[in-house]
């Protein structure tokens, strides 16, 4: 089958830490040679599209920022559309704050004066942030999270991600976010298909996480490919309700999928 579009996860799929996964560049070249529009989509909300493009170029993958999405870009777009006149309090990274500011969102420092609370990954998250999140929710703010990733890869091993921060903030008053905007949300699905401008059944998604990458593709109606080069394992597949169409060791084996 000739695919019109492909969604590629980044960390654990295209690269691991500061190194390109062997065979990834060749797989991306094959997609492009086949005429497959290729979108890179990370659930890491801390970097802008331009920052991701710079990182990929540094690894030898030339890409324009318009072909990159993240949980940060999806969250920013959602807020700009649904809450453009509302005040936003962020429990999250400086990189995400910069994306919000660039989009013209109204950020406030007083949690009790916010209409919206966004919780996200932040290496500096502390008790004060948890208290501020509680104050915002207690005052009636609408609650959103950027992405559900409880753990994320790091050079020291796995570390707590956005999902952990979201749980810490919402758990105080036993409240779940109204939406979590990153993969595999409906907002993330629409964002990906809008960029690819192709029907879902003519697209594939490749990633290392069952509950985000593969779930996104499954829900959208795309062909799904799980790589073993990142987080999810064969044991995880056996225990999961999310079933990839293909399982390969890494992007180096993507030819086996593309060739049928």
DSSP-assigned states of every residue in 107-149: E-S-GGG-SEEEE---TT--HHHHHHHHHHHHTT-EEEES---
Length of the chain in terms of residues written: 260
Contact in structure between 224 and 217 (CB atoms under 8 Å):
yes
Mean pLDDT is lowest, of 53-62, 77-86, 165-174, 228-237, for 228-237
Percent of all residues in the chain with a pLDDT value above 70, rounded to a whole number: 99
Provide the whole-model pTM. Answer: 0.95
Task: Give the burial string for 18-54 (b: 16+ CB within 10 Å, else e).
Answer: eebbebbbebbeebeeeebbbbbbbbbbbbbbebbbe
Q: What is the pLDDT of residue 220?
A: 98
pLDDT tens, residue by residue, 196-228: 999 999 999 999 999 999 999 999 999 999 999
The sign of the dihedral angle between the CA atoms of 143, 109, 171, 182 is positive
Computed over every residue of the chain, the mean pLDDT equals 96
Q: What is the pLDDT of residue 2?
A: 86
Does pLDDT of 108 surpass 80? yes
Does pLDDT of 260 surpass 90? no
Average pLDDT, stretch 130-155? 94
Contact in structure between 206 and 213 (CB atoms under 8 Å):
yes
Does pLDDT of 259 surpass 90? yes
Q: What is the pLDDT of residue 153?
A: 78
State the helix-helix crossing angle for 71-82 and 186-196, rounded to 10 degrees.
100
Task: Give the whole-angstrom CA distance, residue 191 versus residue 182.
Answer: 10
Q: Which domains does the chain have, with CATH numbers?
A: 5-43+183-258 (3.40.50.1000), 83-180 (3.40.50.1000)
Average pLDDT, stretch 29-33? 97
205 φ, ψ to 5°? -125, 135
- Of the candidates 160, 147, 112, 115, the residue with the CA atom closest to the CA atom of residue 132: 112
Does pLDDT of 73 surpass 80? yes
Task: Give the whole-angstrom CA distance, residue 260 versus residue 243.
Answer: 18
Q: What is the pLDDT of residue 158?
A: 83
Q: Residue 223 forms beta bridges with which residues?
A: 204
Q: What is the pLDDT of residue 144?
A: 98
Is residue 54 very low, low, confident or very high in pLDDT (cuts 50, 70, 90)?
very high
Q: What is the pLDDT of residue 157?
A: 77
Q: What is the pLDDT of residue 145?
A: 98
Does pLDDT of 154 surpass 80? no
């Amino acid at each position: 089958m000739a695919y019109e579009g492909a969604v590629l996860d980044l960390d654990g799929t295209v690269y691991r830490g500061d190194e390109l996964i062997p065979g990834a560049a060749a797989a991306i070249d094959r997609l492009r040679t086949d005429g497959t529009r290729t979108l890179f989509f990370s659930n890491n909300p801390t970097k802008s599209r331009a920052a991701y493009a710079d990182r990929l170029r540094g690894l030898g993958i030339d890409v324009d920022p318009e072909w990159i999405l993240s949980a940060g870009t999806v969250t920013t777009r959602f807020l700009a559309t649904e809450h453009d006149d509302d005040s936003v309090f962020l429990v999250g990274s400086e990189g995400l704050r910069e994306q919000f500011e660039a989009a013209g969102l109204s950020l406030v420092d007083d949690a009790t004066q916010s209409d919206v609370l966004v919780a996200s990954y932040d290496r500096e998250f502390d008790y004060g942030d948890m208290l501020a999140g509680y104050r915002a929710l207690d005052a009636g703010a609408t609650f959103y999270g950027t992405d559900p990733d409880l753990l994320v890869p790091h050079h020291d091993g796995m570390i707590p991600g956005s999902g952990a921060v979201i749980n810490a903030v919402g758990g105080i008053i036993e409240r779940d976010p109204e939406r979590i905007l990153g993969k595999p949300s409906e907002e993330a699905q629409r964002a990906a298909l809008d960029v690819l401008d192709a029907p879902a059944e003519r697209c594939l998604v490749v990633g290392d996480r069952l509950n985000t990458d593969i779930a996104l593709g499954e829900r959208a109606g795309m062909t799904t490919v799980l790589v073993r080069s990142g987080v999810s394992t064969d044991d995880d597949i056996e225990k999961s309700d999310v079933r990839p169409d293909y399982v390969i060791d890494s992007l180096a084996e993507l030819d086996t999928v593309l060739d049928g």
